Structure 1
């Protein structure tokens, strides 16, 4: 007789968004700006202006990407007194990052109390934002942060702090010339060239690569038969069009289950396939969320860094239990473990999927397979792709073969800057800072996950401040000598400059 399964705990109420109280948020914004003023924010800009040889202005920092990481990086730069910056994002307002686009979870997996985008200002925390609208009781009742709530909170922080974000502006390419970086930007107004001393690439989860598309013998990305039938979880998907259809999902992580849940809720039947015989059980990366790891990991030797993160990657991250239960709640959901796909063939009437057990037909398939890290996929860095150092050059070749994706991570410097494989492009690459998931092997999860975000943004801004000061040391020496703010002018002991001999 099969023993009865233990009763499962109820799933706490989850909401993708909560009601807005604009008046309460306006009051909180006033309080937050008062707190910032008490912290002397924004401080005066201390960086000497720079121009090109023909007199064109030069930005101190161009930040590409205005999602969670990009806007927090920009905020940190302003707090360090670097005001000559531009922040651009190719997406429309509210579509920066995944929250309002391809992220399909109801809530964040992170605990609700985590901070990061606030950079230590209590009135800028998510808790302050939520309590201002829903009170202490509302906060106590909240299980986890709604996905759209998080998006709207980030926009509120951006507006409250006064970040100069330009939406609809894409970074096309980066080149170096005369010790400066030349960036090509595109917007509905056309293309423009801007000059910068530093560029921060905060282009999101795929900002160091691209969506991971599995390779199959019969699948071509450009196959017209795949249009509307073969998707990656990062694609725009009309789930209502899948009502009454049979959908196959490949993957064992959060994005696979999130997309399966959306299809199920739209009225589809979903089979989710994974090659593993059981789902990942423990989120090992969660263990790293403490100050010692965040601050100390970058100082470890390469062997220890490699050991930590190849282990975490190998263990894999389980889908949140609430997301699994979201799928299990539907009679049309089937989880098929230990069943890899060996081929995918789009056809005129659907998609044929082959497994070791045979072939099956689906109306549509979704790859919930995450993102690759491979700078060769980034058009912004095409000029330098072959010159950028990666972890493959710092570990045993056999280790690199066993951990192909980890070996492709860029090997960054202490301030998130790219490093060259040789001397070519050394100065240019040192001026490009990678503040996204691609920095994980070198710095830990400081640019992508909420717990380490404040430490990461602070480290980035402080490193850029140091670099700019050192580069301008002689100008600062001249400024020091030229300073004339006589302290004793209001006293009888004041001595004019010409008499100080």
Structure 2
């Protein structure tokens, strides 16, 4: 079996053969601190940093409000699945360099047979791989740096930050939001729970002290993967009983998104007519998000797990330190409730976008669906451009929006996949980097024109190299 040193050698050798990183070709601009700011140094954020470096784009900074690497991202904090939900062999952060892939990393540590034996990637090992990727590629992340507000200006964006608790302002030409499921909205808290005292419920996006649920009766609202994952951890942590409530009459089991993964649909999806993209998003909402079979098996292994189908909570109130809920015709009591009810997407609800959110084009501004396909939930998704950039609601009113790229689930209606997850990396990271390269080059075209027209370069050789070979017409001898 190879060793950790071997995989580092193999990856280093792959980068050597690829050639050195191009020099930064982007001209410095007075008063501009960064060319690109990446918000959140997760796996996606690190991937963008590497891709931009390979495109010769310097002046890139990665910011993350987490305290440190151990608390960053979701894999070691709020994610509770045992394995990733995507196939193990999907192209991801390696960006076409096999030696940087999870498979190469894993096989170096555990062998090819061990990799062949796993069906999906264990969550903790994925986090370990991403940490290796970040450190091996020397991608610095500025932790304890929170984006508070974006203030547009002419030719750049002013970032109001909180750095280690201190407010400061920096400037950037481009922003990439690689900030996860709540990045363009927030946690969806059902109103029936929102009226309860805050200590009696939590959303799956929050850190939950499951040890405090030992011996308690827990309700979980929702029937997608995160709900089953939370129920599983509660049961494994010693909960007395866990009741999971699903609105539908059965758990969604048809993975409608998966059939979009073939190259034709994958690469051309964004060019579909609006009506087709809307229908596919609407259809997914109608069918529902499917939890993996192992997430269901994880909870059904416990006799004190109880599944309630067609069970929408009608009302809930607190009675002392307990929750009293009416579900259909039943009245049930719980010590704690967990909302596995997903997230909403709405740029107008994000404080950092407050200065200009009203200018951002949403799907409701671009497309009117048939009456039987209307969805308030989908209507507030941003209508994104080909490289995930915001679009203007009214052309000419907010040209700076094209400089903000959204690589999070807010791109679902526009691009047809859970954006920010592994399946979207191969297609969308290069597309975003390509447009950023285009915009930065043409914004500075006068300087580039001068550069590429300049003769200010040392000659490859002097004329003396060929002087002796220059043909000279023979001189005819003079006959006396």
When the two structures are superposed, what TM-score results if normalisation uses the length of structure 2? 0.92
| Equivalent residue number for residue 237 of structure 2 | 266
Alignment of 1:189-200 (within 5 A): 190-200=166-176
Match of 1:80 among 55, 58, 64: 55
Q: 1:24 to 1:399 in 2, by over 3 A?
A: farther
CA distance in 2, matches of 1:380, 1:164: 23
Match status 1:89 vs 2:60:
no
322-331 vs 387-396, greater mean Cα deviation: 387-396
| Equivalent residue number for residue 25 of structure 1 | 4
**Structure 1, gaps ≥5 residues long:** 1-20, 496-501
> Alignment partner of 2:3: what SS?
helix
Q: 1:425 to 1:184 in 2, by over 3 A?
A: farther
**Structure 2, gaps ≥5 residues long:** 468-480
| Equivalent residue number for residue 40 of structure 1 | 19
Match of 1:465 among 437, 440, 460: 437
Deviation at 1:413, TM superposition (A): 1.1
Alignment of 1:227-246 (within 5 A): 227=199, 229-246=200-217
| Equivalent residue number for residue 6 of structure 1 | none
CA distance in 1, matches of 2:13, 2:142: 25
> Alignment partner of 1:123: what SS?
helix
Deviation at 1:400, TM superposition (A): 9.5
Check conservation: 1:392, 1:400, Cα contact below 8 A.
no
CA distance in 2, matches of 1:302, 1:266: 46
Check conservation: 1:352, 1:360, Cα contact below 8 A.
yes
| Equivalent residue number for residue 300 of structure 1 | 272
Alignment of 1:72-221 (within 5 A): 72-91=47-66, 92-188=68-164, 190-216=166-192, 219-220=194-195
Q: 1:400 to 1:371 in 2, by over 3 A?
A: farther
Q: 1:157 to 1:107 in 2, by over 3 A?
A: same
CA distance in 2, matches of 1:380, 1:424: 22
Alignment of 1:278-427 (within 5 A): 278-396=250-368, 399=371, 402-423=374-395, 425-427=397-399
Check conservation: 2:64, 2:145, Cα contact below 8 A.
yes
Check conservation: 2:278, 2:369, Cα contact below 8 A.
no
Check conservation: 1:285, 1:317, Cα contact below 8 A.
no
Deviation at 1:360, TM superposition (A): 1.1
Which whole-Å deviations, capped at 9, do the CAs of 1:90-113 have from their partners, x for residues lacking one? 112033321111111111111112
Alignment of 1:435-454 (within 5 A): 435-445=407-417, 447-454=419-426
Which whole-Å deviations, capped at 9, do the CAs of 1:25-83 have from their partners, x for residues lacking one? 3431232122113212421111111112xxxx431101111112222122211111101
Check conservation: 1:387, 1:424, Cα contact below 8 A.
no
> Alignment partner of 1:331: what SS?
coil
CA distance in 1, matches of 2:258, 2:156: 39
The total of aligned residue pairs comes to 465
Match status 1:50 vs 2:22:
no
94-103 vs 480-489, greater mean Cα deviation: 480-489
CA distance in 2, matches of 1:425, 1:417: 15
> Alignment partner of 1:267: what SS?
coil
Check conservation: 1:226, 1:347, Cα contact below 8 A.
no
CA distance in 2, matches of 1:119, 1:166: 23
When the two structures are superposed, what TM-score results if normalisation uses the length of structure 1? 0.89
Deviation at 1:275, TM superposition (A): 1.3
> Alignment partner of 2:233: what SS?
helix
Larger-Rg structure = 2
Q: 1:296 to 1:448 in 2, by over 3 A?
A: same
Deviation at 1:115, TM superposition (A): 2.1
Deviation at 1:493, TM superposition (A): 5.8
